[in-house]
Amino acid sequence: MNSSQLFDNIVKKRSFLCVGLDTETEKIPEFLKNRRDPIFEFNKKIIDATVEYAVAYKPNVAFYESAGPAGWTALEKTVKYIRKEYPDLFIIADAKRGDIGNTSKMYAKEFFENMAFDAVTVAPYMGEDSVTPFLSYNDKWAILLVLTSNKGAGDFQYHNEDGIMLFERVLTVSQKWGNNNNIMYVVGATRAEMLKDIRQIAPDHFLLVPGVGAQGGSLKEVSKYGLNNRCGLLVNSSRGIIFADNSGNFDKAAGEKARELQQEMEVYLSERKLI
């Protein structure tokens, strides 16, 4: 999917919501646990209940890997299900990969060819040749970690050379490797005030913003500093949506949480005259 198609979907759904499918086996409602593939069954119901309000889905690969080969199968089935039922959704493998060139190439093959993801999150520490293998596919994306939402973000991301912080260098240098049709950036919602600075360096790129909800970030702040004239934001919520309730109504509760976020997003999109 290219950025125009993504923007069209945002306008159509009046939403820039990404639903994080961080499906922890232990947290799946009890009545689903004796099904043949509880992870997939859970995801399917979550997707069906939230799809009206979301433009993107983001399984965090860790939660599937930790369930072994069955977890991988559930991940593959989830991607296939979305592709078949809702072909206009943007699907992100939150994998935070990054390795020497020939190895990153294997990861790109896995996520883009074997599974039909649109994008993969990539850790930038190893530099150019660890990222470029993800940029050689048409309409596929690398989403680089820039400023993350966790506490440890401060340990290295602010390392400051002559007034340029590491995360700013990642933004600047990586723009030489690709463009705003194959690179996005991860910026945690818990650093919303930094979005102003980031929009100076990368005015046109899409930003993937995790940390709204369970991690405490504010959608209002993120939208204020992050929206550009093609929206330019995908705001993710994971636990706040998918584990809103663990009864037989978990999917309805998830849909309700997604709808709340969508309605707030609609206000901000409308204020900016994007819809």
Residues in contact with its own copies by CB under 8 A are: 22, 24, 60, 62-63, 65-66, 68-70, 72-73, 76, 94, 96-101, 103-104, 106-107, 109-110, 114, 123-131, 145, 148-157, 159-161, 166, 169-170, 173, 215
Please state the closest distance from residue 185 (CB atom) to its own copies, in A: 13
**What is the C-alpha separation between 198 and 189, in angstroms, rounded?**
13
Q: Which residues of 99-126 are buried (b: 16+ CB within 10 A; e: fewer)?
A: beeeebbebbebbbeebebbbbbbbbee
Cβ neighbours for 191, distance < 8 A, ≥ 6 positions apart: 147, 149, 153
Looking at beta carbons only, is 41 or 76 nearer to its own copies? 76
Q: Is 103 left (phi over 0), alpha (psi -120 to 50) or beta?
A: alpha
140 is catalytic: no
In whole angstroms, the minimum distance from the beta carbon of 76 to its own copies comes to 7
CB of 130 to its own copies, least distance (A): 5
Q: Which is nearer to its own copies, 72 or 81 (CB)?
A: 72
Residue with smaller CB distance to its own copies, 151 or 273: 151
CB of 28 to its own copies, least distance (A): 14
Q: Between 130 and 237, whose beta carbon lies closer to its own copies?
A: 130
Residue closest to 52 by CA, chosen among 79, 90, 13, 91: 13
Task: Compute the least distance from the CB of residue 15 to its own copies, in Å.
Answer: 24
Q: Decide whether 73 or 228 has the Cβ nearer to its own copies.
A: 73
Measured between alpha carbons, how far is 48 from 270 in angstroms, rounded to an integer?
Answer: 26
| Residue 196 burial (C-beta neighbours within 10 Å; 0-12, 13-18, 19+) | exposed
The two structure tokens encoding residue 196: 């102003």
d(CA 114, CA 93): 12
Q: Which of 27, 44, 96, 105 is catalytic?
A: 96
Least distance in Å: CB of 11 to its own copies?
Answer: 31
- H or E element, residue 16: none
Show the tokens assigned to 129.
């040749």
> Sign (positive/negative) of CA torsion 221, 226, 232, 233?
negative
25 closest CA partner among 217, 193, 246: 246
| Comparison of 87 and 163: residue with beta carbon closer to its own copies | 163
Q: Which residues are catalytic?
A: 96
